[in-house]
Amino acid sequence: MTSFPADFRLWLASQSPRRRELLAGAGIPFQVVPSTGQESLDYQEPLLAAEGNARVKAEGAAVPSAAPRPHFILGADTIVVVDGGVLGKPGDRAEARRMLALLSGRSHLVITGVALMREDVSGERRCVVGSAETEVWFRALRPVQLDAYLDGGEWADKAGAYGIQGAAGLFVERIEGEYANVVGLPLSLMVMLCARLGFDLLGRRWIPSVGTSRAHPV
């Protein structure tokens, strides 16, 4: 398999272990960097919240000033939407239980906003933003089943109080859309955004930049 060129550098502005696992599983080299960007749900639409938060994270990435250029900075934000409202990360067990009870026996949307920024040798920055949606159907959950899950603590630090890749995967009857999007990073969208900023992720090579500032997977 062709290796990534030595001058391909990706900084992941996220502490999410799920996003790290997805990138590593796809064979994409990266380094993790903290971000000072503050998430907000103060947007008119859930999609705009996910995309806006992703961009804030990318822009707030604490990339070392001496880091070689060009490089990419990746920010992402995943939210769960039900009845038009956004479910963020639960603050405690009681809130996690309320969220899961709301999701029980019905479908909901998982939206991940992704922002990819390229910083060139000159210091010029370009950013493209997009989002992906996956519809997820949960089984009807009994109180004893909720308690068994909540006892495990997996609900912490997860939008909607669950991660499809863990024990809560048993709650899912079916999905429509990309599985990786529910985990936290739609890889199909990553391919599109990289191409817009001049890198062919599949061919592992630099190409002419194309497209606009926004992208959505078909």
> What is the per-residue pLDDT across 22-35, written as a single tens digit (0 to 9) for each?
999 999 999 999 99
Quick one: pLDDT at residue 214?
A: 56
Indicate if the pLDDT at residue 94 is higher than 70.
yes
Q: Helix, strand or coil for residue 198?
A: coil
Of these residues, 7, 42, 77, 151, which one is catalytic?
A: 77
Beta strands in the chain (DSSP E): 10-12, 31-32, 71-82, 85-87, 107-119, 125-138, 172-176, 199-200, 205-206, 214-215
Rounded Cα distance between 110 and 182, Å, is: 6
> What is the per-residue pLDDT across 119-178, written as a single tens digit (0 to 9) for each?
999 999 999 999 999 999 999 999 999 999 999 999 999 999 999 999 999 999 999 999
Rounded Cα distance between 208 and 196, Å, is: 8
Active site residue 77: yes
Domain positions in the chain: 10-205
Rounded Cα distance between 107 and 135, Å, is: 7
Quick one: pLDDT at residue 81?
A: 97
Architecture field, domain 10-205: Alpha-Beta Complex (3.90)
Indicate if the pLDDT at residue 46 is higher than 80.
yes
Indicate if the pLDDT at residue 216 is higher than 60.
no
Indicate if the pLDDT at residue 5 is higher than 80.
yes
Q: Helix, strand or coil for residue 159?
A: helix
Query: 66-70, 136-140, 198-202, 209-213 — which is least confidently predicted?
Result: 209-213
Quick one: pLDDT at residue 210?
A: 66
Supply the DSSP string of 2-40, one letter for each residue: PPPPTT--EEE----HHHHHHHHHTT---EE--B-PPP-
Average pLDDT over residues 14-25: 96
Quick one: pLDDT at residue 41?
A: 66
Average pLDDT over residues 71-89: 95
Quick one: pLDDT at residue 218?
A: 31
